Amino acid sequence: MADSSFRVGFVSDGPPSAEQDAALAWLGERDGVEAVTVADGDDSQGNLDVAWWHRDEPLADGTPAPVTAALADVLESGGGVVLSLRAMEAVTALGVETVLPDVTTIETVAEPTGPLWRVLYDDHPAVADFETVRIPVCDRGESAVARYESVLPAHGEILAGTHCGGTDVPQEMVVAAWNAGAGAVLGVGTPLLFGESAAPSVAENRDRLAMGCLRALAGGPTQPERPADAAAMAGMRTRLGTDPSRPAYHLTPPANWLNDPNGLIAWNGCYHVFYQYNPAGPFHNTIHWGHAVSEDLVEWRDEPVALAPSPDGPDRHGCWSGCAVDDDGTATALYTGGKGRSQLPCLATSEDPDLREWHKHGDNPIIETPPADLDVIETEHWEAEFRDHSVWREGDTWYQLIGTGLDGAGGAALLYSSGDLREWHYEGPLFVGDGTDGSVWECPELLDLGEKQLLHVSNYEDVLYFLGEFEDGRFRADCRGVLDHGDFYAPQSLKDGDRSLTWAWLPEARDLEAQWDAGWSGTLSLPRVLSLGPDGRLRQEPAAEVTELRGRRLAGPTAFDLDSDRRRLPATGRRLELELELELADATAVELSVFESPDREEHTHIRYTHGGDLRVERAASSLDNRAATDTQGMTVTPYDEPLTLRAFLDGSVVELYANRRHCLTSRVYPTREDSTGLSLRAEGGRASVRSLSVWEMRSAMATGTADAASSVRL
């Protein structure tokens, strides 16, 4: 099709505007294009390959019926329809979509602006010959625009956000695709002006993009669809699978965005992990519930999206964090629904043994307002900071925790009770911070560890935990700490026999542009077992099943002494587990270097010193200036025993477990293919490595076949 001619019908409804006249004149000058005018929907010449409706005026009275009929005829005959500027609003009249773009307006363009194309679809014919996904097509003028911003199309797939003035604005989603029977629709709501002059390079981009969109739909080729089954999800994973920074044995989304783990539940012999997911790209917006499942905590497979916002529901702008429980044989999820500036608890149930299909409660939200007697914090985003749910059962009573913040006090976890998970009674604050531990607490969770209970909360920076007793509706803390001292947030747990398994979100430590270019963002920690040690203190260690991911042993078990000479280890890789026991002797520190290039241009230091300080130093971790370069640290106690360290290296993850008590998880992004080395050295004296073993680790995530991968391509 790239070298063949095609026939474009330029749609006009009423007298054309100056912008429409300019667009039609532009179209008439294109080589290989036969342009005809479809006036007021009258396609008397017929046989169109593409119909193009370019409209810069609002559709005040909806799409004119003659235009709808003409466009529908093109689709029915297997042709394509391009809807640019405000014409993108016609997708509902055409019957291909039920959710309109939520932003339709006139904007002043004063700097280069255009689509920010998703790398998942960078081979789409509209942009295949561009060398970048950032495509400025307008740099001045008043332009009509149409875009999805806080909602997604129900049936279409987003292809592009916005790049404006050198900045990525992915939440301004300006290009979307729909398949309609034998035909296809492409909505292009970005500023695309033909009646306004532009810098030569910008005008060239405009011409190439507009022609690319028209040519892509000539003959009605299939457009990308939002992956809706397990094979398509696996296909996305396969397409992005060559990225060396992509974790392989930590649970990641197939593509796009992941944050908090949600709805962790063991069901019908499987472990189900749901998570906050944005199917529109690797950015935090329009949150759905993603889904992964495993029979053994070792091998995981992607499942279709489980929960999606309802356009007319209390979760219109997001199905936010929540949990899942077994209600006498019915899987039940409680989650925060977001709509406008309101966030309130909602409920959904599933009769599906695989937990793929969920049905939302007809009377959502199940709690209509925060407690009236509390001064709950209001912010610019939310009229009340009131979200995230942890639910458990004692006898015939269900209990629920909701996170909040109280003016003049700080973070708090509020306690509710219910007999049926639908009617809830406010019992009072379970626990309130002292004002020094965060103004708002998210994702509260109360775990029974036997002799003590553990309450953990996330305060935007850290995951704080408190050990103590829960009695008579209140929690009394005996001690406190930080669950993980690095890139670790919003953990959630499930009870698995006599153990608690915990996962957390490991956020990226590189900027938004780098995340967009990768096509994915976020991963989850390994499943951890939280327990009490004999000394009554918290213990954390990887679930025993993690050892099943070990492949070939690359080194050890071996013992040796260290001095100031760097000792390179006979093992390399980006996906490894190290098990190390060392004693400082008279050395002041021991430095373990990972993800190390042969010339040490790139390396990440894990440094342990007298006094128990353990640090991850990221100053030289990456040559990419978009990655974090700070140092993260914690204190490992007690000091009078050798350090036992399990280090999990996985693409861009460094997850450390020290003395079965203390954890530090870090994100680093080596750029060189040879940044795979390991080395050790002592400082200020000699140290003893009592034992060292290194294993390759195999992937935990199932990938798709070549056929599945092709389902996300054209």
pLDDT exceeds cutoff 60 at 135: yes
pLDDT-derived band at 9, boundaries 50, 70, 90 = very high
List 553's β-bridge partners, or say none: 695
Name the residue among 354, 350, 191, 210 with its Cα closest to residue 269. 354
- Position 61 scores a pLDDT of 79
pLDDT exceeds cutoff 70 at 50: yes
Average pLDDT estimate for 445-451 = 96
pLDDT-derived band at 40, boundaries 50, 70, 90 = low
Provide the token pair at 18: 């100056």
Let me know how many helices (H) and strands (E) the chain has, helices first: 6, 45
Distance (Å, rounded) from C-alpha 333 to C-alpha 322?
A: 7
Distance (Å, rounded) from C-alpha 254 to C-alpha 120?
A: 11
- Position 714 scores a pLDDT of 26
Q: Which carries the bigger pLDDT value, residue 5 or residue 522? A: 522
pLDDT exceeds cutoff 50 at 1: no
Q: Is 358 exposed, middle or buried (0-12, 13-18, 19+ CB in 10 A)?
A: buried
Contact in structure between 519 and 119 (CB atoms under 8 Å): yes
pTM of the model: 0.95
Distance (Å, rounded) from C-alpha 263 to C-alpha 524?
A: 14
Helix (H, G, I), strand (E, B) or coil at 429: strand
Residue pLDDT, tens place only, 92-105: 999 999 999 999 99
> Which of 67-81, 515-529, 665-679 has the lowest average pLDDT?
67-81
pLDDT-derived band at 348, boundaries 50, 70, 90 = very high
- Position 442 scores a pLDDT of 98
Distance (Å, rounded) from C-alpha 71 to C-alpha 90?
A: 10
pLDDT-derived band at 359, boundaries 50, 70, 90 = very high
Domains of the chain, by residue range, sit at 6-217, 550-697
Provide the token pair at 60: 């005040």
H helix or E strand, kind and range, residue 697: strand 687-697
pLDDT exceeds cutoff 90 at 130: yes
% of the chain with per-residue pLDDT over 70: 96
Name the residue among 194, 192, 165, 174 with its Cα closest to residue 103. 174
CB atoms within 10 A of CB 612: 17
- Position 705 scores a pLDDT of 36
The C-alpha torsion from 607 through 651 and 596 to 461, rounded to 10°, is -30
- Position 105 scores a pLDDT of 96
pLDDT exceeds cutoff 50 at 623: yes
The C-alpha torsion from 530 through 533 and 539 to 543, rounded to 10°, is -50
pLDDT exceeds cutoff 90 at 711: no
Provide the token pair at 72: 């529908």
Average pLDDT of the chain to the nearest whole number: 94
Contact in structure between 142 and 89 (CB atoms under 8 Å): no
Residue pLDDT, tens place only, 66-95: 999 999 999 999 999 999 999 999 999 999
Average pLDDT estimate for 60-65 = 84
- Position 230 scores a pLDDT of 87
Instruction: Give the angle 103-107-111 at the CA atoms, nearest 5°.
Output: 125
CATH node for 6-217? 3.40.50.880
Which of these CATH numbers, 3.40.190.80, 3.40.50.2300, 2.60.120.560, 3.40.50.2000, describes 550-697? 2.60.120.560
pLDDT exceeds cutoff 90 at 562: yes
213: left (phi over 0), alpha (psi -120 to 50) or beta: alpha
pLDDT-derived band at 708, boundaries 50, 70, 90 = very low
Helix (H, G, I), strand (E, B) or coil at 211: helix
The C-alpha torsion from 108 through 93 and 174 to 239, rounded to 10°, is -170
Average pLDDT estimate for 147-169 = 97
Going by C-beta distance under 8 Å and a sequence separation of 6 or more, which residues neighbour residue 25?
194
Residue pLDDT, tens place only, 363-420: 999 999 999 999 999 998 899 999 999 999 999 999 999 999 999 999 999 999 999 9
Q: Which phi and psi (to 5°) does residue 9 adopt?
A: -95, 115
The catalytic residues are: 260
Going by C-beta distance under 8 Å and a sequence separation of 6 or more, which residues neighbour residue 305?
228, 277, 279, 288, 289, 290, 291
pLDDT-derived band at 692, boundaries 50, 70, 90 = very high
Name the residue among 411, 423, 483, 410 with its Cα closest to residue 447. 483
Distance (Å, rounded) from C-alpha 472 to C-alpha 492?
A: 24
- Position 641 scores a pLDDT of 74
Residue pLDDT, tens place only, 456-494: 999 999 999 999 999 999 999 999 999 999 999 999 999
